[in-house]
Amino acid sequence: MAMAFESRNLFAAIDMGTNSFKLQIIHFEPTVSKLTTLQTHSEAVGLGRNPLSSSQPLISPDSQFRAIEVLLKFQSILRSQNVTRIRVVGTSAIREASNRDIFLNEVKKKLGFDFHVNILSGVEEARLIYLGVLQFLPIYDKRVLTLDIGGGSTEFVVGNYGRVLFADSIRLGHLTLTQKFGENDLVGLKGYIREVIEASGLVGKVKNLGFEVAVGSSGTILAIEKAIWSDYGSGGEKREVLKNCGRSRRKNWWFSWEELKGLVEGLCGVRARFSQNEKAKRDEFFGKRSEFIVAGAVLLDEILELFGINEMMVSGYALGEGVVAENVSEDCLGSNLYVNEAWKSVKRLAMRFNGKDRMKNCAECLAIAKVIFRGLRKNKKFVDDRFAVDICLNDKDLEYLEAACMLHNVGLYFGKKGYHKRSYSIVMEQSELDGYSIVENQLIAQLARYHRKKFPNIELISLQGVSKEKFGIICSILRISVIIQKHTQLELREISFDDSSEGFVLFFVMKGGQPMLLEPEMLLLAKDLEGKIAIEAKLFEAVFHQKLLVVTHMGC
């Protein structure tokens, strides 16, 4: 539902990786330096899968065909969302391929000669990954060693205050290592990894510079962290502990070397490598990354041992977000992307419990909520014969609403039944959310709790000094936004919110033809949406003492 975001503030990055291609559409809000990921699309391409007969890196005809098909799909998505600020980058598989120029010419021919692919050097790739990591973790003032395991290479960068002090890339990746050694030659795999790293001189260079924090990024390390966090291989006991006790054991987005070693032993044991049941379990947990997870985990284990790293933070952001961050810095001069730690902490918690589909739902809900919020904010006071309601909404109120939009559905991680109550518990347990006081944390948790089901008795809610009237307003906006977001099948082209002589008006413009030409299912969905908002409108009226009218227009 990107129509609620200004297209001039939409940015996109396409990362043409060794194993998969990734498209990210991100909204940047200049006034508060806030990056919000709206959509993420990832497609397996296998660009770095070299034919067995090839003696040098080569992009095969099959890989080229898949690559162009995926890029055409991404191009269609970007056009439908009216995104024009786009940067496409290629990494190790393209920069090392002997037929690189042939491939790039074919891409230009099929996608248009204005479709330009920036081939990144290993050092440039490492720098952009560091910029992406800074958009996720509060480590701007730390000297950070970031390492990123890709399909064909691993990038190393030491940075501080947004400046790169050292960057390098080595040709060790989860895909190429899997192709070379498979899963059974663990001795050969470990020996080769050590030989390449030691020959590079990286360990000495990095240790001479020194670092305070080690951070891992990208899909392989994210999958490893998730496996450790959920105690992969334990039979689900830890999932029940999480459900009943939350994540009080330690901070999220972090693991120790000891925990990694335990995971490697579980993945590389004889039973794990040769048992069909174990392989099926691994495939179910790791999905498309299952084929490469052994090589990736062994590679990371060897790196941590050689560099003497006992603990590693993990970033949910990497190259794509770094590409967008740099584009934002160039296009929006004066923007400071290293502030707003509160918003980053909200994103970290949301991503901890939500996959990309639910994160997309959260972003859509947020876009709708902002339309309603801004419509209300234009109107300072409404008076009828009995009541005077002072709205006076401010930027802080919008911040609470946005946080609640991103976190209201985190409880779904444990199942649908009663998930709003679980969302409340999860948010309440996150007292370390950066940039929020305990009172603010409680307010956001209460909003998450009451985004559905029974509307709260505001007088009974303990908010410790927070205006109860204000809570009712924000809660009502959130509830309506969630209802609208759940009707995305309607393909709403536009949403607006304004006042009239009869009250407030929520106006929808739907995609499609004239009313008689719409499919019956669409008409039913539209009626269902209007009906559910009508129920919510009664609660809205109780808060504002003004009617809420819904108008649906069938666009052309």
Taking the chain (556 residues) in runs of 10, the rounded mean pLDDT of each run is 67 94 93 88 88 71 94 94 93 92 94 90 94 94 96 95 95 93 91 97 96 96 94 57 44 88 88 79 91 96 97 96 92 76 92 93 93 82 48 85 96 94 90 79 92 80 70 92 85 80 81 51 74 83 83 66
Q: Where are the domains of the chain?
A: 2-120, 137-316, 344-554
Token pair of 18 as six digits: 């060794």
Report pLDDT for 57. 83
* Topology agreement, domain 2-120 and domain 137-316: yes
Distance, CA of 294 to CA of 306 (rounded, Å): 18
Residue 432: predicted pLDDT:
58
Domain at 2-120, CATH homologous superfamily: ATPase, nucleotide binding domain (3.30.420.40)
Long-range contacts of 116-119 (CB under 8 A, 24+ apart): 116/88, 117/16, 117/88, 117/89, 117/90, 118/87, 118/88, 118/89, 118/90, 119/89, 119/90, 119/94, 119/95
Per CATH, the number for 137-316 is 3.30.420.150
SS (H, E, C) 296-322: HHHHHHHHHHHHCCCEEEEECCCHHHH
**Cβ–Cβ under 8 Å, residues 345 and 433:** yes
Please tell me whether the overall predicted TM-score, pTM, comes out greater than 0.85 for this model: yes
Say which CATH architecture domain 344-554 belongs to. Answer: Orthogonal Bundle (1.10)
Q: How far is 50 from 52, CA to CA, in rounded Å? A: 6
Burial of 381 (0-12, 13-18, 19+ CB in 10 A): exposed
